[in-house]
Amino acid sequence: MAVYTDVSDEELDAFIASYAIGELTSFKGIAEGVENSNYLVHTEAGRYILTLYEKRVAPQDLPYFLSLMEHLADRGISCPLPVRDREGQALKELAGRPAALITFLEGVWVRKPSIEHCAGLGRALAQFHIAGSDFPMHRANSLSLRGWVGLFDAIRDKADGIIPGLKAEIEGELAELGAQWPADLPLGVIHADLFPDNVFFLGERLSGLIDFYFACNDMLAYDVAVCLNAWCFEPDGSFNITKARALLENYEKERKLTAAELDKLPLLARGAAMRFLLTRSYDWVNTDAGALVKQKDPNEYLRKLRFHRGVKSYREYGIGEH
């Protein structure tokens, strides 16, 4: 829920005029997404999303994100496509921020994903992984093991103020993850943030993926683990094995998980839970009231982490022997 940067009339007019998309007919800030400022733009030529990249996004990473969208769209993945201006530029500047205009993707994100939605997500995730396999650019995952340690250092002294005992629990967990984190699983481009609000549906049919601003090169199965956390827990904290099975079985219709990936899945899911536990904890102690962002509860991801710590085998995620 965020529009951080206001755009003046003159700047907006000049920006729109730099594209061959006709006159502006509507311009509204969107109350979704917490990283960037997003506007819904209607012009005579159609509908677009205008994104102003705020300080959390490193400007040097933007060519990776925008090129990835073009690469994926070229390979038939339904996702927004950066619009190039009259001079062929996709990455521009507006109101002192890096900015891009991207095509509007139809669909609605589901607040409460069903089994069918999880099935669609699994298939789309694997298609995304396959489509990204020949993407030539590289971006390290800044929110993997080393990034977690850095985040924890920044909140260490405040951790027990968020949740009593959190400091010791994260310390122990980070030590175990550091000792066991795999280095030999299949790599590729991952979305890294494929939560329900980044996946659009029209009814039961998945209509596309959005928000590639955490995409990076990392283990493909880590992306699966992020989705298990984001899609397969119920609001009461319970793990829905039927949704997990739907997600994993449909993923494997497009891309088989290797035996090593399956073995490491519980560990990857712990790591994926740690990543969101840490960023949410960091935001919890660092977001000022003026930021107009709804705080997300770190506790939710601590509970997910604990769940996966108790998982002995990937079979507990609902799929059988390979």
Nearest Cα to Cα of residue 282 among 166, 134, 116, 123:
166
For residues 133 to 152, the per-residue mask of contacts with a second copy, x marking binding by CB under 8 A and - elsewhere, is --------------------
Tell me the three state secondary structure of residue 89.
Answer: coil
Query: Given the structure tokens 């509970």, which residue do they identify?
Result: 303
Under the binding rule (CB under 8 A), the answer on residue 234 touching a second copy is no
Which 250-309 residues touch a second copy, going by CB under 8 A? Answer: 289-290, 292-294
Element at 98 (helix H, strand E):
strand 97-103
Amino acid occupying residue 17: A
Give the residue, chosen from 32, 171, 176, 204, that forms a contact with a second copy under the rule CB under 8 A: 32
CB–CB of 181/217 below 8 Å? no
Task: Give min distance, CB of 110 to a second copy, in A.
Answer: 5
Under the binding rule (CB under 8 A), the answer on residue 236 touching a second copy is no
165: left (phi over 0), alpha (psi -120 to 50) or beta: left
Of 108 and 140, which CB lies nearer to a second copy in the complex structure?
108
Q: Report the C-alpha gap between 30 and 2 in whole angstroms.
A: 7
Of 137 and 202, which CB lies nearer to a second copy in the complex structure?
202
Give the residue, chosen from 18, 29, 75, 306, that forms a contact with a second copy under the rule CB under 8 A: 29
Which 101-120 residues touch a second copy, going by CB under 8 A? Answer: 104, 106-108, 110-112
For residues 4 to 23, the per-residue mask of contacts with a second copy, x marking binding by CB under 8 A and - elsewhere, is --xxxxx-x----------x
CA dihedral of residues 134, 140, 142, 148 (deg, nearest 10): 100
Give the residue, chosen from 5, 17, 18, 24, that forms a contact with a second copy under the rule CB under 8 A: 24
Task: Extract the tokens encoding 15.
Answer: 């920006």
Q: Which stretch binds a second copy (CB under 8 A): 28-36, 80-88, 213-221, 308-316?
A: 28-36
CB–CB of 97/5 below 8 Å? yes
Q: Which residues contact a second copy by CB under 8 A?
A: 1-3, 6-10, 12, 23-32, 40, 42, 104, 106-108, 110-112, 202-203, 289-290, 292-294
